[in-house]
A and B are shown apart, each in its own frame.
Chain A
Amino acid sequence: MQTSTVTDTGRPAVGRDACVPDPSLAVCTRGLAKDYVHPWTLRRTRGLDALDLDVRRGEVLGLLGPNGAGKTTTLKLLTGLLKPTHGRAWLLGEPVERTAARRGLGFLPEQPYFYDYLSGLEYLELAGRLSGLDADAARRRARHWLDRVGLGERPGLRLRKYSKGMLQRLGLAAALVHEPELLILDEPMSGLDPFGRRDVRELIAEQRERGVTVLFSSHILPDVEMLCDRVAILLGGRLTRVATVGELVEGGRQSVEIRCAPGALLELPRAWAGAVTRAERADETVFRLDDEARLPEVLGALLRAGVAVRAVTPQRPTLEELFLAAAEGERARRSA
Chain B
Amino acid sequence: MNRPSPAGWRRRAAAAWAVALAFGAAAFALAEVSWRALPHPRPLEELSYYPSGRSLRPATLGHAATAADLAWLRAVQYYGGHRATDNRFERMEHVFDILTTLDPGFRPAYVFGSFALAQEGRDFPAAERLMRKGLAANPASGELAFQLGFLYYVRPGGRDLAQAARWFEQASRQADAPPQSARFAAFARQNGGELLGAYELWGEVERNSPNRLLRELAARERERIREALRSGRHERAMSRLSTPAVLLKAD
In the complex, what residue of chain B is closest to A89 when comparing beta carbons? B5
Once the chains bind, are B5 and A87 in contact (CB under 8 Å)? Answer: yes
- Asked if A44 is at the interface of the complex by the 8 Å CB criterion, the answer is no
Cβ-defined partner of B8 (8 Å) among A30, A86, A95: A95
Once the chains bind, are A97 and B4 in contact (CB under 8 Å)? Answer: no
- Asked if B85 is at the interface of the complex by the 8 Å CB criterion, the answer is no
Once the chains bind, are B8 and A88 in contact (CB under 8 Å)? Answer: no
Once the chains bind, are A86 and B2 in contact (CB under 8 Å)? Answer: yes
CB A39 to nearest CB in B, in angstroms, measures 19
Q: Which of A9-48 contact B (CB under 8 A)?
A: 16, 30-31, 33
Q: Which residues of B contact A219 (CB under 8 A)?
A: none
The interface bits of chain B over 9-43 (1 if a CB of A lies within 8 angstroms of the residue's CB, else 0) are: 10000000000000000000000000000000000
- Inter-chain CA distance A16–B9, complex, in Å, is 21
Once the chains bind, are B6 and A88 in contact (CB under 8 Å)? Answer: yes
- Asked if A176 is at the interface of the complex by the 8 Å CB criterion, the answer is no
CB B115 to nearest CB in A, in angstroms, measures 56
Once the chains bind, are A98 and B6 in contact (CB under 8 Å)? Answer: no
- Asked if B3 is at the interface of the complex by the 8 Å CB criterion, the answer is yes
Q: Which residues of A contact B1 (CB under 8 A)?
A: 16, 31
Chain B residues bordering chain A, tally (CB within 8 A): 8
- Asked if A237 is at the interface of the complex by the 8 Å CB criterion, the answer is no
Once the chains bind, are A33 and B9 in contact (CB under 8 Å)? Answer: no
In the complex, what residue of chain B is closest to A84 when comparing beta carbons? B5
- Asked if A208 is at the interface of the complex by the 8 Å CB criterion, the answer is no
- Inter-chain CA distance A223–B156, complex, in Å, is 99
- Please report the number of residue pairs spanning A and B whose Cβ atoms sit closer than 8 angstroms: 28
Q: Which residues of B contact A16 (CB under 8 A)?
A: 1, 3
Main secondary structure of the interface of B (DSSP, over half): loop
Once the chains bind, are A97 and B3 in contact (CB under 8 Å)? Answer: no
- Asked if A158 is at the interface of the complex by the 8 Å CB criterion, the answer is no
- Inter-chain CA distance A73–B6, complex, in Å, is 18
Cβ-defined partner of B2 (8 Å) among A87, A95, A97, A98: A87
Q: Which residues of B contact A241 (CB under 8 A)?
A: none
Once the chains bind, are B6 and A86 in contact (CB under 8 Å)? Answer: no
The interface bits of chain A over 91-104 (1 if a CB of B lies within 8 angstroms of the residue's CB, else 0) are: 00001011000000
Q: Which residues of B contact A182 (CB under 8 A)?
A: none
In the complex, what residue of chain B is closest to A85 when comparing beta carbons? B5
Cβ-defined partner of B3 (8 Å) among A31, A95, A98: A31
Once the chains bind, are A83 and B3 in contact (CB under 8 Å)? Answer: no
Q: Which residues of A contact B2 (CB under 8 A)?
A: 31, 33, 50, 86-87
Once the chains bind, are B6 and A83 in contact (CB under 8 Å)? Answer: no
Once the chains bind, are A86 and B4 in contact (CB under 8 Å)? Answer: yes
Q: Which residues of B contact A33 (CB under 8 A)?
A: 2
Once the chains bind, are A87 and B3 in contact (CB under 8 Å)? Answer: yes
The interface bits of chain B over 123-140 (1 if a CB of A lies within 8 angstroms of the residue's CB, else 0) are: 000000000000000000
The 8 closest A-B pairs by CB, nearest first: A97-B8, A86-B2, A31-B2, A84-B5, A97-B9, A86-B5, A50-B2, A83-B9
Contact surface of A with B, Cβ cutoff 8 Å: 16, 30-31, 33, 50, 83-88, 95, 97-98
Could you show 10 A-B contacts with beta carbons less than 8 Å apart? A31-B1, A31-B2, A33-B2, A50-B2, A83-B5, A83-B9, A86-B2, A87-B2, A97-B8, A98-B8
20 further interface pairs, Cβ-Cβ under 8 Å (given A50-B2, A97-B6, A97-B9) = A16-B1, A16-B3, A31-B1, A31-B2, A31-B3, A33-B2, A83-B5, A83-B9, A84-B5, A85-B5, A86-B2, A86-B4, A86-B5, A87-B2, A88-B3, A88-B5, A95-B6, A95-B8, A97-B8, A98-B8
